[in-house]
Amino acid sequence: MIVSRLTQDVLSPQEMRLDGIVAEIMAFDRPFLEVYRSVLMPLCACVRGRWSREEATFLDITLASGRIALLFNSVSQAYAERHLMMSDGEAINPGEAEARMLLARMPGDNHALGLQIVESVFRQSGWQVSRAGENGDLDACFGELQRDPFDLFGLSVGISAIAGDVATAVERARAVSCNPDLKICVGGAGVAAAPFVFDAVGADFLATDAAEGVELANAAVGFHA
């Protein structure tokens, strides 16, 4: 029910009642990943469905994408504030240790919303997340990997046609990383559409959505928030 209503809200020409929506989601009092799976991702799927069925214009989808990004940020911030008010035993990541992720996208990947969702989900799962190469500048990413010992390099791919370029990027990331145990995840719309195309790019694992990415990443580096 809430997903249907949210779909109407993000596509409506009227101003979105953001504070009320965030308060309603927080009132569920459920873990962030559960809200992500049951509310936020179905919302994205419903909006994509409107576009594929030609029930929404490009301008409608642009507006909705911006609002969904704002909603993800606001809900993520609300969860972060709630965790800060908890005792150490209840907090999402009570210890000092954090797994560290560098997140980037391939040149030509314009799915900024998808990257933002991944960042929010990983942060809420106890990871420390940095982003580099905002405009597809992979050299900036390689410089970060060379300087800092990240546990995971997450690379978003928008289309399956560039699997060869992805393999080159994965190989170089391993070569320059100052962490010899660096794990690499490849995900994004391109992987979700045709995961078999990326089987041979050299990544440690592929992820078709953020929740799957967290589960596989935690297992790969042995991290438990």
Pairwise pLDDT comparison (107 vs 102), residue with the higher score: 102
Instruction: Give the pLDDT of residue 87.
Output: 42
- Beta carbons of 170 and 184 less than 8 angstroms apart: yes
What is the per-residue pLDDT across 119-128, written as a single tens digit (0 to 9) for each? 888 988 889 9
Does residue 173 register a pLDDT over 90?
A: yes
Pairwise pLDDT comparison (172 vs 27), residue with the higher score: 172
Residue 26 has which token pair? 């927080």
- Whether residue 70 sits in one domain with residue 10: yes
Does residue 196 register a pLDDT over 80?
A: yes
Q: From CA 31, how far away is CA 128, in angstroms rounded?
A: 18
- Whether residue 56 sits in one domain with residue 15: yes
Residue 95 has which token pair? 């210890």
What is the per-residue pLDDT across 29-41, written as a single tens digit (0 to 9) for each? 888 888 888 888 8
Domain span including residue 37: 2-84
Is there a domain that residue 89 lies in? no
Mean local confidence (pLDDT), 3-21: 88
Is there a domain that residue 64 lies in? yes
Instruction: Give the pLDDT of residue 91.
Output: 42
Is there a domain that residue 199 lies in? yes
Buried/exposed code over 174-201 (b: 16+ C-beta within 10 A; e: otherwise): beebeeeebbbbbbbbbbbeeeebbeeb
- Whether residue 123 sits in one domain with residue 80: no
Cβ-in-10-Å burial (0-12, 13-18, 19+) of 81 comes to exposed
What is the per-residue pLDDT across 198-223, written as a single tens digit (0 to 9) for each? 999 999 999 988 889 999 999 999 88
Is there a domain that residue 93 lies in? no
Residue 73 has which token pair? 């940020």
